[in-house]
Every structure is written in structure tokens, then in C-alpha cells.
Amino acid sequence: MENSSPCSAGDHVINKDTLCKENNKIGNLSSESIINSESDAVIIEDIVNVSGKDTQIVLTTNGVKLISPKDRINKKKEGKIGPFLEWRDVISASKDPKSTEQSHQWILNYIHHGSKSIVHHRCLKVHDKNGNSDKLITAIQKQCSKVVGRPKKLFILINPIGGACKGRQIYQKAAEPLFKLASVETHVVVTEKSKHALEIGETHDFSQYDGVVIVGGDGLYQEFLQGLTIQTQKKSGINYDDPNAELSKLNIPIGIIPAGTGNGLTYMINGIQHAETAVLNIIRGEQHRGQIFIVHSGSKFLCVSALAFGYGFFSDYVKRTEELRWMKKARYAYTFIGMLSKKKRFFQAELQYRLKLKANDSSGGNEQGEQQKSDWIIHKNETKNYNCIYSLQGELVDAGDHNIVDPYGSHVMLGAGTGCGHFALFKTMMYTVFGKKINSSSNLDLIDRVTDFKIKVLRDEQGGSERISGARAREIELEHLIDIDGEVIHLESLDMTVRVQPSLTLIYGVKKKQVTHKFQHD
């Protein structure tokens, strides 16, 4: 399926005509958008007509300014003009197909920043007055092509069976028209089987692409990321079976368009689960280095994790949901309710962890570039009985009454349940994801600033020839599973090391709480 494939018809199809109707006013310019013009160099300026008003349009090295006659009178003396739209938020400019001999019109497509991290595509109809529309369009297109990080060619990977099985439709409705508007060439591949994304990540040559876009859930992203991590290490000759090896960074940016069930990662990197926002953030081209977990089992590399690691309660939960896959989305709530009344499953383990040291903390660490980490700390738990050990990706940044969960950080919070109830475990996990502050309790230890942790499960072996009960056989099966980003993975060895690898990935996303200029007409 190449870029040219037609966008399926439907109520929510994005196209120029429908969107242009949404927004073509220039009144009510917000004072936030008035910016100082000092650092700008003017590229071209003209008088055009927007919403029936003569308006000065100025293209500068920083962006587009539209100056109404009122603005010019009120603000120019103070050296301030506006509103301002930075080039990163301009998608494209093109002739309006409805333009006639008598009325020359062109369209400016741009990104509107709404509240709570949401962004939308908007367009503005501009009426030419002086015959300069071609020059303005060419200049805008040239500046758009120079936006740092904006992709020109993308490899798109769609999971057709993720979430509600709408991967293809979500791509066609929310992404394809916007990529076309932004002149992004695409090569689309639809996965054909489980682990296909892993295979593609490990073997495909992405050198001719500016980025890869995953249209699916956290599971699909994890598979692709694992494949790409392996490919990158192999190319650099890194022995990734060695948990102490310094891994090569992945240099192809990855974007995620939510089409799965949980979609936790798209929430973390875009601040919201919203397909249009995810697409527009890819077009904006802002990229950040993200942290992931590298998991070893025994002396072997096991997997990467982009979102969550869980052992005990969470791996049991995911295993059960996989057994009930036929129930589709309902399996999550059904399993959750079922587990509330279930007896806790305990396992015996030794848990150790290392902490990111604060700048003024001189204890621990070693000489080989790991000065910022403490030595291994043994988790205090005399009975060694646990019912859950888990960690979620994201450094928790204190923001007063809440935390910002920063996927571009260098440490995580580790949860060690020593008998915590199932409901409380879920609640704590959800609170962490949504940045709510939460403290340790008597049976759930929450340890912040963790950079690595090790779990050694101490198995209660029952004499070699003795027959084991069905219940014990199920327990042994569960003991050999971990939850990685909502999928279960089999463990050969019950001796695990999990390391936070800061800055390993490159992600199309935004930093939360970032300040953006508004270009608002509504």
C-alpha cells in the first residue's frame, strides 16, 4: 500500500474542504501570540485579505505573522507584531482548488495547539490581492521543508488486529490525508502475523527513511523496538547478551499512532491518546531521546521494554487476558474483576536495585563512567515473600501537587509488593501513569530513582521424581512468565536483570508542559 492509496470515505475523513470550513476567521487574536520581532529576518511580506479584512502577511525566518490593521496601529510602536505561527507548526500552503479567475485563493495549513496537549489541523483561506500568491506559497513550502526533524519519507507499520482491529482505518482516516498535505512520502506495510514487527525491525534496512511510524498498540511498538535494537547492536558489533555492555543508540526516530488497546506509550509521548495529535506531532518533527528497559534472563538478553515490566500479579493478569483473547476488549475488565476475589500468589525472591545518585551524593558508584549510580542495594524484606514486582517507564518529575511522567528521563520508580491487595496494585499503577502522587504502604514499597534492578526467584523445588499437583504446575508456568508492555514473555532462567537505558530510542513526541505559541482564530 503506497502513499497514493485512496482515503476511505466516511464521516470522519479529513480533507482540505471539510477542514477549511472549520476555521477561517482572523478576529480575536490572543495577546499571547503577540511576539517580539527583534530576532526575525523578513523573507517576504504582502497585503492579503483574510475573512474580509486587509491583513499584512509577513514570512520571517521564525514563522508566519498576520497583522491586522488594528494590530499595526496598536503594537508596531512597541516593536510588537502578531500573531505568530512558527514554521514547526506550519504544515503547508497550496492553491485553493476552488480558486477562480476572479478570486485567487490559497490555503495555509497549520497546527493548532488546544488544551491538554491536543493538537488539530486547521486551515486558513487567504485571498490574494496583489498577485503574489505563488511567491508566498513557494516561500512557505520552502520554509516547511527546512523544519529540523520533519520527515520527508516514512516507513509505516500497521497492526490490523490490534485493539478494535481498526489499525488500517485509523491510518487511512487520521494519518494518510495529513501526511499527503505535509508532502510526506510513505511506504506502508501491514503486519501479517504475530512477531512480524520484530522480524521487520531486525532485518529491514531503514536507511532510506527519515522515520518509522507504528500504527498499533504498545505490544506492536515493543516488538518493532526489540527488532531494531538487535539490528543496531549487531551492526555495531555489540554483545547485547552482556548486561553491562554499552548499547548503541537507535538513530531512526519512531512515532506511534494509537490503534491498540492500552496505548500507554502514545499517551506518554504525546500527553494524550489521540490519533490526529500523534500524526501532527510526527509532522512537527520534534524528536526526543527516550528511555527503555533492557531485560536479561540468566546470562542472555531476553527483551526490551518500552513501557512496563511486571512480575507476579501483573504477569499473571496479562497471561489470563491472553487466554481470554476471544473476549476482545472485555477480557481486561473480566480478568480484573475475577482477580479481585482470587487468592494472592506469593513467590520467594531476592530483590536488589541501584539508584541514580543526586548531584551532591558521593556514596557508591564506580570509576567506569557509572559514578551517577549507587552500588547494589538489597531490598529489605525478611520473609523474601513478594506478590508483585513491577516498574513503569518514565522518570517522575515533581511538579508540586502532581508528578510529570517524563519518558525521556534516566530513572524509574520500582514497586515491590509484599502482600498488597490486587485492587491497590492496580490503583497504584494507574496513579503512577497519570502522575498522581502516591506513597509506599506497609505491603507495597515504592522506590524512586531506580536505574537497574535484579530479581532472583528462589524456587521451592519439590523432590525430582515427586508428582506435582495441577495447581503447582500452573504456579510453575506462571513463575516463568513476565509481563512486558502488556504481553507475556517466557523466562528460561528465574534470574533477571532489568536496566534502564536512558536515551536509547529516538521518538517523535513532545515534552509535557512545553510552551507553544498560539495561532488562534476561534
Ligand X SMILES: Nc1ncnc2c1ncn2[C@@H]1O[C@H](COP(=O)(O)OP(=O)(O)OP(=O)(O)O)[C@@H](O)[C@H]1O
Q: Is 486 in the site for ligand X (CB under 6 A)?
A: yes
Q: Select from 68, 105, 109, 191 the one that contacts ligand X (CB under 6 A).
A: 191
Residue from 20, 487, 504, 521 in contact with ligand X (CB under 6 A): 487
H and E: helices and strands count for the chain: 13, 27
Give the residue with the Cβ less far from ligand X, 46 or 487.
487
Q: Is the peptide bond before 83 cis (omega within 30 degrees of 0)?
A: yes
Q: How far is the CB of 289 from ligand X (least distance, A)?
A: 22
Binding of ligand X by 160 (CB under 6 A)? yes
Beta carbons of 214 and 257 less than 8 angstroms apart? yes
C-alpha cell at 287: 524528536
Measured from the CB atom, the residue of 322 and 495 that comes closer to ligand X is: 322
Residue placing its CB nearer to ligand X in the complex, 90 or 197: 197
Output the smallest distance, CB 301 to ligand X, in A: 19
Indicate which single residue of 2, 38, 101, 192 sits in contact with ligand X (rule: CB under 6 A): 192
Residue 82 or 201 with smaller CB distance to ligand X: 201
Residue 154: all three cell numbers together:
516514512
Amino acid identity, position 418:
T
Among residues 82, 255, 262, 415, the one that binds ligand X under rule CB under 6 A: 262
- Residue 429 contacts ligand X per CB under 6 A: no
Query: Considering only 21-29, 212-220, 318-326, 505-513, which stretch makes contact with ligand X by CB under 6 A?
Result: 212-220
Least distance to ligand X from the beta carbon of 201, Å? 12
Burial of 3 (0-12, 13-18, 19+ CB in 10 A): middle
Q: Angle at CA 126, nearest 5°, toward 124 and 129?
A: 170
Q: Quick check: 193 binds ligand X (CB under 6 A)?
A: yes
| Cα(31)–Cα(521) distance, integer angstroms | 12
DSSP string, 345-407: PPEEEEEEEEEBPPTT--SS--SSS-TTBPPPEE---TT-EESEEEEESSEEEE-SSBEEEET
Least distance CB 165 / ligand X (angstroms):
9
Q: Is 328 in the site for ligand X (CB under 6 A)?
A: no
Of residues 5, 145, 194, 236, which one binds ligand X by CB under 6 A? 194
Q: Which is nearer to ligand X, 65 or 320 (CB)?
A: 320
Give the CA distances from residue 398 to residues 25, 177, 436, 437, 448, in Å, rounded to whole numbers and listed in that order: 40, 39, 10, 9, 11
- Which residue's CB is nearer to ligand X, number 162 or number 271? 162
C-alpha distances out from residue 515 to 11, 111, 115, 116, 512, Å: 33, 14, 12, 12, 9
The answer to whether the beta carbons of residues 219 and 263 sit under 8 Å apart is no
Considering the complex, state which of residue 47 and residue 161 has its C-beta at the smaller distance from ligand X: 161
End-to-end CA, the chain:
37
Site string for ligand X, 214-243 (x = CB under 6 A): --xxxxx--x--------------------
Q: How many residues bind ligand X (CB under 6 A)?
A: 23
Strand ranges, E, within 399-512: 403-406, 412-417, 444-457, 481-484, 487-490, 495-508
Among residues 63, 82, 162, 255, the one that binds ligand X under rule CB under 6 A: 162
Q: Which stretch binds ligand X (CB under 6 A): 59-67, 78-86, 260-268, 270-278?
A: 260-268
Give the three-state DSSP class for 35.
Answer: strand
Enumerate binding residues for ligand X (CB under 6 A). Answer: 159-163, 191-196, 216-220, 223, 260-263, 486-487
